[in-house]
Amino acid sequence: MGEFEVIQRYFANSGRARTDTLLGVGDDGAVLQLRDGYDLVVTTDTMVAGTHFFPDVDPRALGHKLVAVNISDLAAMGAEPAWLSLAMTLPKVDDAWLAAFAAAFSETADYYDCQLVGGDTTRGPMTFTVVAKGQVPHGKMLTRQGAKVGDFIYVTGTLGDAGLGLRLCQGQVEVSKKHRAHILQRFHYPTARLAIGQALRTVASSAMDLSDGLYSDIQHLMHRSVVGASLDVERLPLSQALKDSCDRSTALALALSGGEDYELLFTVPESKKSMLDVLLAPYGVPVTCIGRITGAAGKLELRAGNEAFAYEHRGFEHFEK
Amino acid sequence: MGEFEVIQRYFANSGRARTDTLLGVGDDGAVLQLRDGYDLVVTTDTMVAGTHFFPDVDPRALGHKLVAVNISDLAAMGAEPAWLSLAMTLPKVDDAWLAAFAAAFSETADYYDCQLVGGDTTRGPMTFTVVAKGQVPHGKMLTRQGAKVGDFIYVTGTLGDAGLGLRLCQGQVEVSKKHRAHILQRFHYPTARLAIGQALRTVASSAMDLSDGLYSDIQHLMHRSVVGASLDVERLPLSQALKDSCDRSTALALALSGGEDYELLFTVPESKKSMLDVLLAPYGVPVTCIGRITGAAGKLELRAGNEAFAYEHRGFEHFEK
């Protein structure tokens, strides 16, 4: 089993055929042509069986998610996705499994206008690394560094659904038939907030995507921007499915620490706040103001309305005990 | 153990600080500025413990090799290296091991003018994926596709030393004290033929690097160029160390199938053959003509001088039985 055989057999025409791909799969490397005046944006994500996904995961869900979570990183930077590389480590070649995985990977890549341009296949414990490459107009990228005191903090979509979905798959919680499909969809098939990321280039002072959970992730943003943050947990956007499936305290814990939301967290200066609703209206994805940036560098303050909110964070521990 | 901690602690200033790195480690992705008129070249290589390296490998050798083999792919395309991403899957955080690994990785990156700009750290069986990014003047990349009937086939350096080094480490062969260091150096610390790759842009019709061994690799080039090849095994460049360490038949088998040479294999049209020696003289690396491209697409002919050479290829099976 060499790179040549597996990548050629399952991924030779994976994703969108792009005219700016000068050389794709099958050589020592890919050759890619950037648009004039654009910078390259590169993100890397690894998923390990047993840590990031169940070893018996549906290969279609895995193929989708590997692409979507990488594209989510590009979205958080305001970039337009273009190319993917896939490094697969597999214990054996299972034709049916690989065909289903490749079909979902390719379909999702195509959805996001991405082409698979290379990779490597090796034998060993099941591990996937995707490197996504995109383009952003020179100087217009969104980063974690630009949040300023007084900026408003926003998130897209709803939080905690994927965390609930994980615990549903683990048999730790029950979810009514009415909400099951939605919750599993949110866990297995996340959507990268790509159009919103690009729209935010002109208004957001900082942005990142939520992968570990709001409580952890906002601290990375605070660290890079050298600021603090105050969040009102009563404003956290929770889906009806989440609210119907658990008590308030569990719902908030999932929204804060459940992880895998793949929503965008971003900050907007007061001067640009009024533009936001108009700008984002076409995308049909709710955005919610959940707090403000403070000058207390490194300090995360949680409130419930006007009260302090006591919260004991338990990190996102993947599938470990 | 999150990406944040491990990458920041050990790799925050890894490699050369490049002015065209607009955003490096620590955000959702890196932002990189390509030179005007250049295309992006991207290569991916994964190494798995037990398959590609011994689990008890010296972390300095591993750190070096991970960088060098990826740069070797860029060299084969005539590209100038610029940036690296590193995805590490580790069973645990071993400070001393990581410090030694990171030091060698960073030193080798620096040697090749590369900056580490991102990555991911996950928990699981030890696996490393490096994505190397470089630049090549628009339209000037070397590929496996351009070999034409009658072109001369060349390799850089000597073949089979790394294959011997692997078998030495496995205790399968003996190597005299005089040659031991050289052979182990060739196996553990390969050198990417970067300057030669760039020099070849104007004369080579095709190029690739030798990772699996000449016998396998040339067939990838033949496949992509839709040609055949005739090689004279008497012309294969063998080091004195290899010749002194085994009989002729073993030496040729290592040169043909030993793998991990990380030398360049390239073809040159007859019209440009005379330029080659002059062009490559400054680099002090021998290049040897070992055969010619033929019109018998897919057919690899081995000769020993004027005689047919019977050879039973056994593929490069990494560390497996």
Say what the pLDDT of residue A75 is. 97
| Calculated CA dihedral for residues A171, A174, A178, A179, nearest 10 degrees | -70
* Least CB–CB distance from B48: residue in A42, A122, A131: A122
Please state the length of chain A: 321
Q: How close A308 comes to chain B (CA, Å)? A: 29
By three-state DSSP, how is residue B106 classified?
helix
Q: For chain A, positions 99-128, list CB contacts with chain B under 8 A.
A: 117-120, 122-125, 127
Looking at chain A, which residue has its C-alpha nearest residue B121?
Answer: A46
- The residue among A285, A170, A147, A118 whose CA lies nearest residue A219 is A147
Which CATH code fits A152-308?
A: 3.90.650.10
Task: Please report where in the chains the tokens 């383009």 appear, as a residue.
Answer: A135
The number of angstroms, rounded, from the C-alpha of A84 to the middle of its chain's C-alpha atoms is 15
Q: How close A312 comes to chain B (CA, Å)? A: 19
Say what the pLDDT of residue A317 is. 45
Write out the DSSP string of B26-55.
TSSSEEE-PPTTEEEEEEEEEEEBTTTB-T
Which chain B residues are closer than 8 Å to A73 by Cβ?
28-29
How far apart are the C-alpha atoms of A78 and B200, rounded to whole Å?
A: 38
pLDDT tens track for A221-270: 999 999 999 999 999 999 999 999 999 999 999 999 999 999 999 999 99
The one-letter amino acid at A18: R
Q: Could you tell me if B212 and B135 are in contact, meaning their C-beta atoms sit under 8 angstroms apart?
A: no
Q: For chain A, positions 158-187, list CB contacts with chain B under 8 A.
A: none
Which chain A residues are closer than 8 Å to B220 by Cβ?
4
Q: Could you tell me if B47 and B79 are in contact, meaning their C-beta atoms sit under 8 angstroms apart?
A: no
Looking at chain B, which residue has its C-alpha nearest residue A132?
Answer: B29
Asked if residue B26 has pLDDT above 50, the reply is: yes
* Least CB–CB distance from B27: residue in A49, A51, A143: A143
By three-state DSSP, how is residue B123 classified?
strand
How far apart are the C-alpha atoms of A313 and A9, rounded to whole Å?
A: 45
- What radius of gyration do chain B's Cα atoms show? 20
For residue B169, what are the contacts with CB-CB under 8 A and spacing of at least 6? B54, B184, B187
Task: Please report where in the chains the tokens 């909110």 appear, as a residue.
Answer: A309
Whole-number percent of chain B with pLDDT over 70: 96
**Interchain contact, A42 vs B131, CB within 8 Å:** yes
Q: Could you tell me if B155 and B193 are in contact, meaning their C-beta atoms sit under 8 angstroms apart?
A: no
* Least CB–CB distance from B143: residue in A4, A23, A123: A23
Say what the pLDDT of residue B315 is. 60
**Interchain contact, B125 vs A120, CB within 8 Å:** no
How far apart are the C-alpha atoms of A59 and A104, rounded to whole Å?
A: 8
Tally of CB atoms within 10 A around A100: 17
Run of H or E residues at A278: helix A273-280
Which chain B residues are closer than 8 Å to A120 by Cβ?
44-46, 129
In this predicted model, which residue has the larger pLDDT, A206 or B118? Answer: A206
How far apart are the C-alpha atoms of A244 and A263, rounded to whole Å?
A: 21
Q: How close A29 comes to chain B (CA, Å)? A: 4
Interhelix angle for A59-76 vs A95-111, to 10°? 30
- The residue among A208, A199, A167, A205 whose CA lies nearest residue A184 is A167
Whole-number percent of chain A with pLDDT over 90: 83
Which chain A residues are closer than 8 Å to B83 by Cβ?
42
Give chain B's mean pLDDT.
92
The number of angstroms, rounded, from the C-alpha of A4 to the middle of its chain's C-alpha atoms is 30
Confidence class for position A320, pLDDT limits 50, 70, 90:
very low
**Dmax (CA) of chain B:** 61
Say what the pLDDT of residue B317 is. 45
For residue A259, what are the contacts with CB-CB under 8 A and spacing of at least 6? A162, A163, A166, A210, A211, A212, A213, A216, A316
Whole-number percent of chain B with pLDDT over 90: 83
Which chain A residues are closer than 8 Å to B143 by Cβ?
23, 27, 31
Which CATH code fits B3-137?
A: 3.30.1330.10
The number of angstroms, rounded, from the C-alpha of B266 to the middle of its chain's C-alpha atoms is 13
Asked if residue B60 has pLDDT above 70, the reply is: yes
How far apart are the C-alpha atoms of A199 and A176, rounded to whole Å?
A: 36
Looking at chain A, which residue has its C-alpha nearest residue B29?
Answer: A43
**Interchain contact, B42 vs A50, CB within 8 Å:** no
pLDDT tens track for A2-49: 554 677 778 877 778 899 999 988 888 999 999 999 999 999 999 999
The answer to whether residue B256 neighbours chain A at the CB level (below 8 Å) is no
**Interchain contact, A133 vs B42, CB within 8 Å:** yes
Q: How close A67 comes to chain B (CA, Å)? A: 15
- Paired tokens of B280: 């490559």
By three-state DSSP, how is residue B143 classified?
coil
pLDDT tens track for A121-167: 888 999 999 999 999 999 999 999 999 999 999 999 999 999 999 99
The number of angstroms, rounded, from the C-alpha of A280 to the middle of its chain's C-alpha atoms is 19
By three-state DSSP, how is residue A144 classified?
coil
Domain spans of chain A, in order of start: 3-137, 152-308
Say what the pLDDT of residue B27 is. 87
User: Which residues make beta-bridge pairs with B304?
Assistant: B307
What does DSSP assign to residue A189?
S
Looking at chain A, which residue has its C-alpha nearest residue B264?
Answer: A28
Give which of B28, B90, B116 to mutate to test A binding, by max A Cβ within 10 Å.
Answer: B28
